[in-house]
Amino acid sequence: MNKDTMQHIRDWFVTAADTATGWLTSPAAWSQFILLGLAWIAALQIDRRIKPHIAPLLTPSEASTTILSRSRRFALIFLPLTLPLLAYALTYIGEQATRAAFGSGEVIAFGKRVFLFLAARALVGQILTDPFLRLLGRYVLIPMAALYVLGLLDDVTNHLGETVVELGNIRFSVLALIRGAIAGSLLFWLGAWSNRQSASYIKAQETLRPATRELAMKAVEIAIFGAAFLMLMSIMGIDLTAVALLGGALGVGIGLGLQQIAANFVSSIILLLEGQTTVGDYVELDGGEKGTIVKMTARACILETFDGKWIVVPNEHFITSRVVNYSDQGSANRYEALFSVSYDTDINKVPAIIEEAVGRLDFVLQAPDGPDCELRGFGESAVDFAVEYWVNGIDDGKNRYGSPVLFAIWNALKEAGIEMPYPHRVVELKDKRG
């Protein structure tokens, strides 16, 4: 701390002591203290009378979710501010009357600032619940309110504005850095909050396709944070032409070194616009990756496999390679189960037996087609068949639908007395002694 700052602090303490001494010895100042006390007592009485009436008016039914109900719940949060704000309003009226009558009102003006400080404390201590806002209120709002009460806010602001930090050829005032940090924190917190609210609203619109909802959420997110960035640049006094130059440099960088990132970003926009692949689809790529899409980001899609693993697949792969989407045209999918019977079997009876057995399973659909048993070929030891069936959903691994179907085939063939053969080999032994 330099000598000038120390001298300013000493001068302020001397001035504050002289002011306090003058107030304590002045009858006019005592009358203003009395007015402050009366204003506080009047605010207490009014607050006690109106709160029991205001609270029921602002309390909607728990089941109501309308915009008006949400607005009433939001206004109800600020009830703790009624007492200090009432005291501030009454003090403001008293200040105007005192200045008109006596030409002086410094004590009442001081009391008015104290009531604002109490309102700031009530806001931080009783109203704000978000951890970030409480932190900002505790270490920014309350100190600023305290400086305002003491009449030091302008002096401190001017001192910080005159203190310059140099980084090479760049010069910033400490005030600009603090203002930028506070404004940036608030803007991006507000942007994140707005983005969550808009995303919740868009997700609730069931009439929109999932891909349309994803695209709308991405567009809103880009718009919100883009606006927050531009506002921050304006608050900090940064010329937006510099941002344009930076954007041009960034474009060159993307063209030279960030081609894959740019390709994946553009691919994500194409995927969302086309809507042929979206969250919830079960897909299989040429590279063998398959699973349910659980998240789509600007860079990649995240697939969740049936064993709980997550596979991160760059968006570009969905554009440049073949993708099998089992969910795009509906939730019904066809599977098949292979089996064999003995050559001694009357194979003309097998299709009816198997189709009836598989058709009795509760998860097998009759539309778009019922179970269909087909002869596939004649093997070395058995006649090969396959039964095709439709189910409503994706086979969760190999044993969700396939296992019950194979059990049904086995039991049906056993009941009909049809043998399922296994390979036989004839071994011929020759006696070399002969």
pLDDT of residue 383 exceeding 70, the answer is: yes
Final residue belonging to a domain, choices 107, 133, 162: 162
Q: Which residue has the higher pLDDT, 267 or 430?
A: 267
Q: Which residues pair with 374 in a beta bridge?
A: 386
Q: How far is CA 217 from CA 128, 206, 288, 391, in A?
A: 27, 14, 30, 33
Dist CA 83 CA 50 (whole Å)? 10
Final residue belonging to a domain, choices 162, 189, 204: 162
Residue 431 falls inside a structural domain: no
How high is the pLDDT of residue 350?
Answer: 94
Burial class (CB in 10 A: 0-12, 13-18, 19+), 389: buried
383: domain CATH number is: 3.30.70.100
Span 166-195, average pLDDT: 77
Dist CA 328 CA 177 (whole Å)? 51
321: domain CATH number is: 2.30.30.60
Dist CA 102 CA 398 (whole Å)? 92
Domain count, the chain: 4
Beta carbons of 153 and 143 less than 8 angstroms apart:
no
Dist CA 41 CA 87 (whole Å)? 8
**Do residue 205 and residue 118 come from a single domain?**
no
Query: What is the percentage of the chain residues whose pLDDT exceeds 90?
Result: 13
**Do residue 39 and residue 137 come from a single domain?**
yes
Span 246-270, average pLDDT: 68
Span 137-144, average pLDDT: 86
How high is the pLDDT of residue 376?
Answer: 93
Q: What confidence category does residue 325 fall into, taking pLDDT thresholds of 50, 70 and 90? A: confident
Span 239-244, average pLDDT: 60
Dist CA 194 CA 274 (whole Å)? 27
**Do residue 97 and residue 26 come from a single domain?**
yes
DSSP string, 179-203: HHHHHHHHHHHHHHHHHHHHHHHHH
Distance between first and last Cα of the chain: 117
**Do residue 366 and residue 405 come from a single domain?**
yes
pLDDT of residue 126 exceeding 80, the answer is: yes
Q: Provide the residue range defining the domain that includes 314.
A: 278-325
pLDDT of residue 214 exceeding 80, the answer is: no
How high is the pLDDT of residue 29?
Answer: 66
How high is the pLDDT of residue 249?
Answer: 59
Dist CA 348 CA 333 (whole Å)? 27
**Do residue 158 and residue 306 come from a single domain?**
no
User: What is the pTM assigned to this prediction?
Assistant: 0.51
Dist CA 245 CA 240 (whole Å)? 9
Residue 432 falls inside a structural domain: no
Dist CA 83 CA 103 (whole Å)? 28
Residue 266 falls inside a structural domain: no
Taking the alpha carbons of 180, 183, 189, 190 in that order, is the dihedral positive or negative?
negative
Dist CA 296 CA 216 (whole Å)? 13
